[in-house]
Amino acid sequence: MKWHQVLQAASDLAAATPALANIYGADGFRYAGTSPYVTPALEHQLVADGEDELWAVCTIQFDQWCRTMEDLLASEHQLRLLFHVETQRDYAGMPCWSQYNDGETLASPDRDGAFGRAIRFRMSTLRERYAPNP
């Protein structure tokens, strides 16, 4: 089981990125649904996780809630720079491959004034080795 570490590392990395911090502010990063719906916010959540002989694969979703389309585009560009990479990277000491998976519009800006878009990344890390209880 690695998804909790992957999720935490990905969220920390996003929050530590100046371009994203400028858009969302210090309080704008959180797990989805843990605070009332306000914009701007970058929310993250686990969507799926699996485990086979070698890999602990999980899919994480970022919900981007921005006040302008420009912010939304800059945010998504930055997230893809961080998490859509060709080679293995180190996330908090954990080697991990990450790839953009899919995206979806979350809100119509003419209705509630927010530009919302969700994007998913597939994160693949080596699975945990479980030792039997002594």
Partner 1 sequence: MLEIGPGRWEGLDGLGEAMLHEIRGEAEDTVLAVVIFFSGEIKTTLSGGRHGRSYVVSRTGRLHVASAPGEAPASLTGNLRNSIGYSLPVWEGWTVSAEVGVGLGTVPSGGAQDPAKTYARRLEWGGAHVTRKTVRVQLADGWITVKAGTVIRILPRPYMEPTAVRVEPEIARMMDRGMAA
DSSP string, 50-116: EE-SSEEEEEEEEEEEESSHHHHHHHHHHHHHHH--SS-EEETTEEEEEEEEEEEEEE-HHHHS-EE
Residue 49 within binding range of partner 1, rule CB under 8 A: yes
CB 64 within 8 A of CB 120: no
User: Which of the 8 DSSP states describes residue 128?
Assistant: P
Which listed range, 6-14, 59-67, 74-82, 87-95, lies at the site for partner 1 (CB under 8 A)?
Answer: 59-67
Residue 59 CB, nearest distance to partner 1 (Å)?
5
Minimum CB separation of residue 71 from partner 1 in Å reads 16
Q: x/- binding map, residues 8-37, to partner 1, per CB under 8 A?
A: ------------------------xx---x
Nearest-approach distance from CB 10 to partner 1, in angstroms: 16
Please identify which residue in 6, 10, 42, 58 interacts with partner 1, judged by CB under 8 A.
58
H-helix or E-strand containing 49?
A: strand 41-51
